[in-house]
Structures are given as structure tokens and as C-alpha cells.
């Protein structure tokens, strides 16, 4: 492994006509391995000249985006010189900015391109004068990828190019283009015209979230595809930006759109239609000779379009139902001496791998390709966690890490209820930034198989290109830094300052990225006596949480007592950052009481622990994310409450989330018990909970008037799921506020 250097040397001598150099902020992402700032500037007023060594002529186009640079015929006197320098390592570069000239050096086009991207960032951030500095830089990981699903939603070529430009700007080197899906086929295949005529379109599209019941549709035909000419254009565009495009042709699952055009490729007779909603579908390619002929023909045309080394063949989420029911498949399993349908999937992938290898290309597959036996030369994309990647690396297979936990940029990036609809989950910027693609359990040898990582942008809930940008950035910046500068001491505060500057720069150009850099994230503890104690989770460097006092002043006390409506801000010095957070807790009797839970919630949905149930704040009625919901995996919710003194109670209610498609069920019943001491509980209420189609359920607790200090509230888990999604698994119970 390459030793890693990180130097930030700021020389702090001052002169009369120059501002102090320690005020110079260099906001490059990913952070360069070595950066030393010195005194002075190169002034960019008027036209400037560049001289390019002819070995880098293919990179001249970069100056289209550096408008005031003109090519110079001679090296002497040019303001910016791009040198071939064989002393530098492959893909490395150096930059030196001095008051009278600027030099970039590299030994190959990739290195020079990365140098130019850093130079572009310098010019974008310092359009009038670039600080004198010296940079030495090279990437750590070989694979730095971003993905885009153009099947759930389709984006025009111009947008795909814009996306590639952004990837290049942050030094990514792979673009994974997810071209086929249940909901649409997006690449022209000349031998199979119905892929364009039929499979590229769906009749309509689901409105709202998949878990909204009943499903509603927009009634509008939707689709499109890229012609082979357009594909070539995109591939060439990416290639000139040192980005390799990896096409993904999904098999054997996620293939409903193809089956709608060629139903003979399925195990059962159609007709089939391209999916109009999201999820996983039972009809998949049947492993017949007809199917293999079709897929080989498709791959032949794909290989001719994509010069890169990899073809991604999917392999994920392939239900085995249709293979179980098919006599043909059962015969094939016997004939080939396979163990079961997983063996059949492995046979499918291995056969396609052999074909693709015979054409001089390698396959990549999602981690399901490990099941039933890994194809001999496959690279594994580990998405359901890092475990698949660990298994593959230990088996000496190349691995690209893309776990949902850190790399799924379709997840929510904020807990704000103002966020645009997303698939679910929660992946804030800081979590991406803290990602380590190399799991600690790998030994020295196995670590070498981790090629890098990739951010995935699945687009079920991204109907517009603006939304793709909003979801992908700035999280892609965090991933780029993880992959380029690994394993630097990660200073999230320093990163935030650079991201802020980058976001503002793009904003001025009309590119709107998400900005949750100063979002207020609280910790809460209900301490009794009607007080919820509030602190901030760690904030970017130099920032502190402040709460407004009764006179309207903001106090940065560190720890705050919330007893009623409260307004919080993040402050950096005297300056407000980000948006204010106003909380209006409802003043019910259990608010701010001492509470505890018999069973802890699942660590993924643990909010503020028992405090979430009595902090006066209702849970998000639309999604089970956020700190106000507690999720119990197969367990009951049993909450003990100490009201502090004997109080008279006569009413209560509890919030539950109800989303059977997500395995989340309301309780079968709720019970309330009370005691004057902590031991002798007597029953107050036992209530069966009726089924409901509402996602957000508020179960009323009609209590006869009674007096008590101690209460126990139990919500009984639904138990095993008997049918539908999650069948045979324990149900989840999600509980919001417990009001008394």
C-alpha cells in the first residue's frame, strides 16, 4: 500500500500589499495529498496563455471551460505550462503556482487530466488571482465510481454528459450506467427492434411512495432509449474525461421490460408488460438456449459500443418462483447436477461470464452472484452490506464496495420533513465521509482485492434531472474524497468548509446541490419534572448550537432544558448558519417524564431511545425515518413512565406506523397498567387495535379517570408475517409519541 502523505503547510509571512496567506482557503475536493500555500498570487486579469506538451493534445478541450486561456505556440513566456514529466508516477500530477508562471506536470493523460481538474477548481474558486501554492497528488483507490439508473427514470444525453462532467470534476474514473430494468430498456439493440419499440416504454408510473396504499398511477406512457450513436457519443465524452463507462445489462432478474417485448424469453407464457411500479418481479429470464442466444446477441452489440474492460450483468434480486414452477428449469437442474435454483442462477451467470470472457471482457455482478457459486473471474459489487465483499475478497476476487449503509445516494440525506420524497433510509453526508471501503476483518492480502467503492443513484423517486443532482451531490464529493485521499485523518469540519464553497460555486452557475451542512441534529434526554435535556450532535468546526431565550437572545449553553416551545440555531461566531429549528412540544402529562424501555429498539431505529416517546414531538406521518420513531424488530414496546408525582389521568393516545409492504405492522393490542408505587401495577386498559389502511395510526386510549404516578404502556407486536412481503419473518413495530 502506498504510504499516505498529508501536509498542509501555510507559510505565514506578511507583506504590505498582500493579504495574510493564512486567510487563504483552498477548497479543493478531493483534498490533495500534499498542499503548500505560499505568499503571493498569480493574477488572472485579461487573457492568459497556455502551452501544452503535444503528448497531452487530447486534453486541450478542457480549456473550453477556462474561457480566458489561449494557446501559446511557444513554451517560453506562456503563463501556464503543461509538461510531460516522466519522473512522476502513473496518474499522479503536480502543480506549482508562482507569481509569474504556473506549471502542471504529469507522466500520462490521466495524471494531467486530474491536474487540470484541480487547476479548474482553483480558477473557479479564485477567478481573479490564484494563490501561490504547490500541490503533489495522486489517487489512492483504483476504482472511484458513480452509478446512474436511467431505467426507472430516463434522462437525456445532455444530462448524462453534465453528470459525467461533475464526476470528472471530482476525479471519479468509472461511470456505471444502469441501462435495463423491469420498468424500461434504454439501449438500442439493432437485432431486437422490439426492445426499442416495446421494452423502452411503460404504460404509466406509480404516484407517490410504493408504500402508499392503494397504489395510484399517473396514466401517462413513459419511456425512451439511447440510440447506439448516442451511446457512442456519451462513451467518447466520458473517455476524454478519463472516465470508463460500465454498461449494466441486468440478468436473470429485473428483466420484465425485455420480456414484454420478447415473452418467449420467460419460463411461462406472457403477455408481460414493463413494470409501472417499483420493486422486485417474479417473471425473469428462463435459462433456455433461446434466452442465451438473445443475451449473447445483446452482449455482442454492447461490447462493440463500450471499449472499457467491464460488462456489468446485474445478478441481483432474482426471485426463483418461476424457475421452481418450470419443468424445463427443474429438468435443467437435474441434468446439470445443480443443487437448486441458486445453483441455476450460478450456472446462468457463469455461462454468461464465459461468453463475455471469450470476447476479452470481464463481468461485474451484484453480491447475489456469490450464492450458489461465484463465477471464476467475476468482480463483485457488494451492496447488501460489506459481507459479500469480504467473502469475495477472501476468495481472491476483485471487489467494489457499494453498501446501502454508506453508498446509496437514493436514501434521505436529511431528517427534515421538507425533503423531497425518497425511497427511505438515512444517509447523511458525514456518514458517507466516514466510510471505510476496507473492512477491518480483511487481512493484508485480501485488502488488495478491494478496488474501491461506488455511489449508487437509483432513480425510482427522481423523476427530474434536478433531483438526481440534489441527491447525488454533495454526497458524491464525500465519496470522492474517501477514495482519492484515503486514509487521511478525516477532518469533517474542514471538509464541510470546502463543500460549502463548492456548493455555492455551483449554485451561482444554476446547479442546485443539497445543502444540509449546518442542519441541526439534536440529542435528547427526558430527565423528569417536565424537562427534556437537549444537546447538539457534533457540528462543523467553529460552530455551536444556540437556543433562543425568553428575551429573544441566542445562548450557546451547550446543554439546554426544553420545557416548552424552543428555537435553535447553529452559530459560527456571531453568524447564523443553516436554518433555524423550531420545536413545539405538546405539553401532555408524560412530556419530559422519566422513562425506560423493557426491550431496546433496533439499533437502526433507536431515535433518542425512550425519550422519543415522551418528548412532545409527533413522528413523521409519511415515513418511518427520523428520531421520533422507534422501531422494534419482532418485539413488543414496553414503556415505563414515572410522572414524578401522583397525577390524574383520563386520556391517552399512541402513534404507530403501518406499512405492511415494509414489514411494519401496527400492534395487535395496547395495554396500560398503573401503580402508585413501582411494584403493584393494576390494569387500566386493554384495547385491541383494529386493522387500518392508514400509514400513520393514532390509537386512542379511552381511560377511565384514575390517579397514578407510575405507568406501564405495552404495545403487542403483530408477530410473524403470515403472507405478502416479509412472509415468515417477524413484523416490525414502529412507535411514535405516547401522549397522556
Residues near ligand ACM (CB under 6 A): 316-317, 366, 383
Task: Give 657's contacts (C-beta < 8 A, 6+ positions apart).
Answer: 619, 624, 629, 664, 666, 695, 696, 697, 734, 736
Q: Tell me, what DSSP letter sits at residue 585?
A: -
Say if residues 121 and 498 touch (Cβ distance below 8 Å): no
Task: Give 617's contacts (C-beta < 8 A, 6+ positions apart).
Answer: 583, 584, 585, 586, 628, 737
Cell of 367: 453480491
Burial of 605 (0-12, 13-18, 19+ CB in 10 A): buried
Q: Both ends of the chain: CA-CA distance in Å?
A: 59
Residue 638: CB minimum distance to ligand ACM, A: 35
For β-strands 522-528 and 450-455, DSSP reports them as: unpaired
- Nearer to ligand ACM by Cβ, of 136 and 176: the residue is 176
Residue 458: CB minimum distance to ligand ACM, A: 6
Task: State which residue has the least CB distance to ligand ACM.
Answer: 316
Residue 369: CB minimum distance to ligand ACM, A: 11
Q: What are phi and psi of 392, to 5 degrees?
A: -65, -40
- Nearer to ligand ACM by Cβ, of 317 and 448: the residue is 317
Residue 559: CB minimum distance to ligand ACM, A: 41
- Nearer to ligand ACM by Cβ, of 408 and 632: the residue is 408
Residue 321: CB minimum distance to ligand ACM, A: 17
Residue 285 CA to residue 263 CA, distance in Å, equals: 9
- Nearer to ligand ACM by Cβ, of 374 and 711: the residue is 374
Residue 421: CB minimum distance to ligand ACM, A: 18
- Nearer to ligand ACM by Cβ, of 385 and 609: the residue is 385
Residue 740 CA to residue 628 CA, distance in Å, equals: 17
Q: Tell me, what DSSP letter sits at residue 267?
A: S
- Nearer to ligand ACM by Cβ, of 105 and 254: the residue is 254
Residue 684: CB minimum distance to ligand ACM, A: 47
Q: What angle do CA 199, 205, 207 make, to 5 degrees?
A: 165
Residue 269 CA to residue 20 CA, distance in Å, equals: 75
Listed in sequence order, the DSSP H helices in 202-288 are 228-240, 256-261
Cell of 115: 491536474
- Nearer to ligand ACM by Cβ, of 317 and 642: the residue is 317
| 3-state SS, residue 332 | helix
- Nearer to ligand ACM by Cβ, of 381 and 614: the residue is 381
- Nearer to ligand ACM by Cβ, of 237 and 383: the residue is 383
Residue 377 CA to residue 399 CA, distance in Å, equals: 11
- Nearer to ligand ACM by Cβ, of 37 and 364: the residue is 364
- Nearer to ligand ACM by Cβ, of 249 and 583: the residue is 249
Residue 383: CB minimum distance to ligand ACM, A: 5
Strands (E), 634-731: 637-657, 669-675, 682-688, 696-715
Residue 371: CB minimum distance to ligand ACM, A: 14
Task: Give 467's contacts (C-beta < 8 A, 6+ positions apart).
Answer: 420, 461
What percentage of the chain's residues is helix, strand, coil (to nearest 5)?
A: 25, 30, 45
> CA nearest 274: which of 195, 184, 196, 149?
184
Residue 316: CB minimum distance to ligand ACM, A: 4
**Alpha-carbon dihedral of residues 296, 302, 305, 308, nearest 10 degrees?**
-100
Say if residues 323 and 375 touch (Cβ distance below 8 Å): no
- Nearer to ligand ACM by Cβ, of 317 and 436: the residue is 317
Residue 58: CB minimum distance to ligand ACM, A: 34
Strands (E), 265-348: 310-314
Say if residues 319 and 283 touch (Cβ distance below 8 Å): no
Say if residues 167 and 478 touch (Cβ distance below 8 Å): no
Strands (E), 395-472: 399-401, 450-455
Residue 325: CB minimum distance to ligand ACM, A: 23
- Nearer to ligand ACM by Cβ, of 383 and 560: the residue is 383
Residue 645: CB minimum distance to ligand ACM, A: 53
- Nearer to ligand ACM by Cβ, of 383 and 409: the residue is 383
Residue 682 CA to residue 675 CA, distance in Å, equals: 6
Residue 163: CB minimum distance to ligand ACM, A: 19
Amino acid at each position: 500500500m502506498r504510504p499516505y502523505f498529508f501536509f498542509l503547510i501555510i507559510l505565514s509571512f506578511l507583506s504590505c500589499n498582500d493579504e495574510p496567506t493564512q486567510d487563504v482557503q483552498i477548497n479543493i475536493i478531493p483534498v490533495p495529498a500534499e498542499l503548500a500555500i505560499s505568499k503571493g498570487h498569480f493574477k488572472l486579469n485579461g487573457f492568459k496563455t497556455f502551452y501544452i506538451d503535444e503528448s497531452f493534445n487530447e486534453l486541450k478541450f478542457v480549456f473550453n471551460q477556462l474561457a480566458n486561456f489561449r494557446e501559446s505556440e511557444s513554451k517560453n513566456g506562456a503563463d501556464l505550462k503543461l509538461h510531460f514529466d516522466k519522473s512522476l508516477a502513473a496518474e499522479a500530477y503536480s502543480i506549482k503556482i508562482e507569481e509569474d508562471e504556473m506549471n502542471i506536470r504529469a507522466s500520462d493523460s490521466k495524471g494531467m487530466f486530474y491536474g487540470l481538474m484541480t487547476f479548474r477548481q482553483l480558477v473557479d474558486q479564485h477567478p481573479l488571482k490564484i494563490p501561490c501554492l504547490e500541490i503533489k497528488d495522486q489517487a489512492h483507490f483504483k476504482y472511484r465510481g458513480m452509478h446512474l439508473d436511467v431505467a426507472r427514470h430516463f434522462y437525456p444525453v445532455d444530462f448524462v454528459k453534465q453528470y459525467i462532467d461533475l464526476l470528472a470534476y471530482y476525479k471519479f474514473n468509472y461511470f456505471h450506467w444502469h441501462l435495463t430494468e423491469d420498468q424500461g430498456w434504454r439501449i438500442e439493440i439493432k437485432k431486437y427492434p422490439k426492445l426499442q419499440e416495446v421494452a423502452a416504454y411503460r404504460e404509466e408510473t406509480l404516484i407517490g411512495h410504493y408504500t402508499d396504499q392503494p397504489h395510484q398511477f399517473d396514466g401517462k406512457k413513459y419511456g425512451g432509449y439511447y440510440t447506439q450513436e448516442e451511446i457512442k457519443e456519451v462513451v467518447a465524452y466520458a473517455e476524454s474525461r478519463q472516465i470508463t463507462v460500465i454498461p449494466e445489462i441486468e440478468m436473470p432478474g429485473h428483466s420484465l421490460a425485455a420480456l414484454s417485448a420478447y415473452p418467449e424469453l420467460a419460463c411461462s407464457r406472457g403477455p408481460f408488460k414493463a413494470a409501472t411500479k417499483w420493486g422486485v418481479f417474479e417473471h425473469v429470464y428462463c435459462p433456455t438456449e433461446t434466452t442465451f442466444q438473445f443475451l449473447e446477441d445483446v452482449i455482442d452489440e454492447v461490447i462493440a459500443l463500450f471499449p472499457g474492460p467491464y460488462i456489468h450483468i446485474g445478478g441481483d434480486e432474482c426471485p426463483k418462483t418461476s424457475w421452481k414452477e418450470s419443468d424445463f428449469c427443474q429438468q435443467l437442474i437435474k441434468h446439470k447436477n445443480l443443487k437448486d435454483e441458486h445453483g441455476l442462477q450460478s450456472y446462468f451467470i457463469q455461462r454468461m461470464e464465459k461468453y463475455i470472457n471469450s470476447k476479452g471482457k470481464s463481468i461485474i455482478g451484484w453480491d447475489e452472484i456469490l450464492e450458489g457459486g461465484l463465477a471464476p473471474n467475476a468482480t463483485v459489487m457488494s451492496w447488501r452490506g460489506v459481507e459479500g465483499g469480504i467473502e469475495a475478497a477472501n476468495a481472491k476476487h476483485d471487489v467494489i464496495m457499494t453498501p446501502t449503509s454508506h453508498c446509496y445516494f437514493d436514501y434521505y440525506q436529511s431528517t427534515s420533513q421538507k425533503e423531497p420524497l425518497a425511497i427511505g433510509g438515512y444517509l447523511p453526508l458525514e456518514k458517507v465521509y466516514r466510510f471505510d471501503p476496507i473492512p477491518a476483518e480483511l487481512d493484508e492480502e485480501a485488502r488488495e482485492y478491494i478496488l474501491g467503492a461506488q455511489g449508487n443513484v437509483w432513480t425510482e423517486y427522481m423523476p427530474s434531472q434536478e433531483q438526481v443532482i440534489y441527491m447525488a451531490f454533495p454526497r458524491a464529493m464525500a465519496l470522492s474524497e474517501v477514495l482519492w485521499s484515503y486514509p487521511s485523518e478525516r477532518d469533517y469540519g474542514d471538509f464541510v468548509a470546502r463543500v460549502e464553497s463548492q456548493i455555492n460555486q455551483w449554485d451561482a452557475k444554476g446547479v442546485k446541490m443539497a445543502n444540509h451542512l449546518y442542519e441541526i441534529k439534536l440529542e435528547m434526554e427526558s430527565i423528569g419534572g417536565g424537562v427534556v435535556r437537549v444537546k447538539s450532535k457534533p457540528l462543523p468546526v467553529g460552530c455551536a448550537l444556540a437556543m433562543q431565550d425568553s428575551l429573544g437572545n441566542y445562548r450557546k449553553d451547550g446543554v439546554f432544558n426544553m420545557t416548552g416551545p424552543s428555537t435553535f440555531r447553529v452559530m459560527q461566531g456571531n453568524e447564523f448558519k443553516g436554518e433555524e429549528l423550531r420545536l413545539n412540544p405538546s405539553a401532555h402529562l408524560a412530556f419530559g417524564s422519566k422513562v425506560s424501555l423493557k426491550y431496546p429498539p433496533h439499533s437502526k431505529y433507536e431515535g433518542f431511545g425512550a425519550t422519543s416517546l415522551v418528548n412532545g414531538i409527533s413522528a413523521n406521518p409519511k415515513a418511518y425515518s427520523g428520531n421520533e420513531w422507534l422501531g422494534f424488530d419482532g418485539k413488543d414496546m414496553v414503556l415505563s413512565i414515572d410522572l414524578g408525582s401522583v397525577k390524574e389521568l383520563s386520556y391517552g393516545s399512541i402513534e404507530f406506523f403501518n406499512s405492511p409492504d415494509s414489514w411494519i405492522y401496527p400492534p395487535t393490542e395496547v395495554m396500560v397498567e398503573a401503580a402508585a408505587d413501582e411494584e403493584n401495577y393494576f390494569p387500566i386498559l386493554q384495547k385491541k387495535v383494529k386493522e387500518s389502511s392508514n400509514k400513520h395510526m393514532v390509537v386512542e386510549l379511552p381511560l377511565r379517570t384514575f390517579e397514578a404516578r407510575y405507568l406501564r404502556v405495552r404495545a403487542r407486536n403483530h408477530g410473524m408475517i403470515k403472507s405478502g412481503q416479509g412472509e415468515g419473518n417477524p413484523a416490525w413495530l414502529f412507535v411514535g409519541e405516547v401522549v397522556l
